Amino acid sequence: MNKDLGTVVTALVTDKNEQAYFVQKSGVTYRLAKTEVEAELDLGDTIEGFAYESIKKELSFTTNIPKSQVGHFGWGEVVEVRKDLGVFVDIGLPDKEIVVSLDFLSDIKSLWPKKGDRLMIGLTVDDKDRIWGELADEELMRSIARIPQGDDWRNKDVTGTVYRLKMVGTFILTDDYYIGFIHPTEREVEPRLGEQVNARVIGVSPHGMLNLSLKPRVHEALEGDAQMILTLLQRSATQSLPYYDKSDPDDIRDYFGISKAQFKRALGRLMKEGLIIQEDGQTKLKTEGTK
């Protein structure tokens, strides 16, 4: 087994031709493209780089060192998905993608990453010198995550990448490196591994995680007629309108352009969300302290 594969090593230049240098480490020779080296190298010089096997099964060496290595983790972009093998991840190598085996992915293939998603992976090498991707585990994510400070997190918008799928919920790492948790009741559809999501903070857990929701805020979830009525109330100087569920159908149609049935359905939605009240023949925007 070649223990240098997937790691950064210092190698000795032993040969060269018009296209490449050949460098040696621990008795193993690797090819280094001359286009990667700014200054001419001579035989006997040493150079630092990353050792790997290319897609053509050629032992290769690159000075463009990827963040994902054996024992080191970094983000990579998913470039291909094969249901019989796993997902292929671009970590920055010039002629090779790294496979994350299906053995480490969900049994539910709809929750697998898609092309364009990203995964934080390290590398492992098997006894046949094949390099595989290794998903970052919870311990590593905790070690790099920041702890939320202060009490002004609620209702903030965050973006992040799903890194773990569990029965209890979905875990993400935000772009600012906070861990977020999404309970199944706070999502309409379960996000897939590697998916980048937009969420809002609904609380901070005692465990140092942001509790998140993928559901829209009430005003974002309102549709059509309800949103129109809410907007009219918000723009009114008195935050009220002289119409309610017993108003004349013709008056409702003249003012709102909708039927009385549509109007009543919209009022019902707004009242259910706790946004309005009806009193004295008017519909009013509910404010703090209003019963």
- What CATH number is given to the structural domain containing 20? 2.40.50.330
Average pLDDT score over residue span 131-146 = 96
170-209 confidence digits (pLDDT tens):
999 999 999 999 999 999 899 999 999 999 999 999 888 9
Give yes or no: residues 232 and 258 share one domain.
Answer: yes
d(CA 248, CA 253) in angstroms, rounded, equals 9
Given a cut of 70, whether residue 289 has pLDDT beyond it is no
| Domain CATH number, residue 201 | 2.40.50.140
Give yes or no: residues 32 and 16 share one domain.
Answer: yes
The verdict on residue 290 lying in a domain is no
- State which of 136, 164, 181 marks the end of a domain: 136
Predicted confidence at residue 81, as pLDDT, reads 97
- State which of 94, 112, 136 marks the end of a domain: 136
The verdict on residue 247 lying in a domain is yes
How many C-beta atoms surround the C-beta of residue 289 within 10 A?
5
Give yes or no: residues 19 and 51 share one domain.
Answer: yes
Given a contact cutoff of 8 angstroms between Cβ atoms, the answer to whether 75 and 119 are in contact is: yes
Residue 64: alpha-carbon gap to chain centroid: 25
The verdict on residue 67 lying in a domain is no
22-79 confidence digits (pLDDT tens):
999 999 999 999 999 988 999 999 999 999 999 999 999 999 999 999 999 999 999 9
| Domain CATH number, residue 243 | 1.10.10.10
273 or 176: whose pLDDT is higher? 176
The verdict on residue 29 lying in a domain is yes
Predicted confidence at residue 222, as pLDDT, reads 60
212-261 confidence digits (pLDDT tens):
999 876 555 567 788 888 888 988 889 999 999 999 999 999 898 888 88
d(CA 199, CA 212) in angstroms, rounded, equals 6
The verdict on residue 112 lying in a domain is yes
Average pLDDT score over residue span 161-167 = 96
The verdict on residue 125 lying in a domain is yes
Helix (H) or strand (E) holding 20: strand 20-25
Torsion of Cα atoms, 116 then 118 then 121 then 127, to 10°: -20
Give yes or no: residues 108 and 150 share one domain.
Answer: no
Domain region containing 174: 145-213
The verdict on residue 248 lying in a domain is yes
d(CA 141, CA 134) in angstroms, rounded, equals 13
- State which of 189, 213, 237 marks the end of a domain: 213
| pTM recorded for the entire structure | 0.74
- Strands in 282-285's sheet, in edge-to-edge order, are 240-241, 282-285, 276-279
Tokens describing residue 33: 């493209």
Give yes or no: residues 44 and 91 share one domain.
Answer: no
196: helix, strand or coil: strand
Give yes or no: residues 151 and 196 share one domain.
Answer: yes
* pLDDT band at 288; cut points 50, 70, 90: low
The verdict on residue 85 lying in a domain is yes
Number of domains present in the structure of the chain: 4
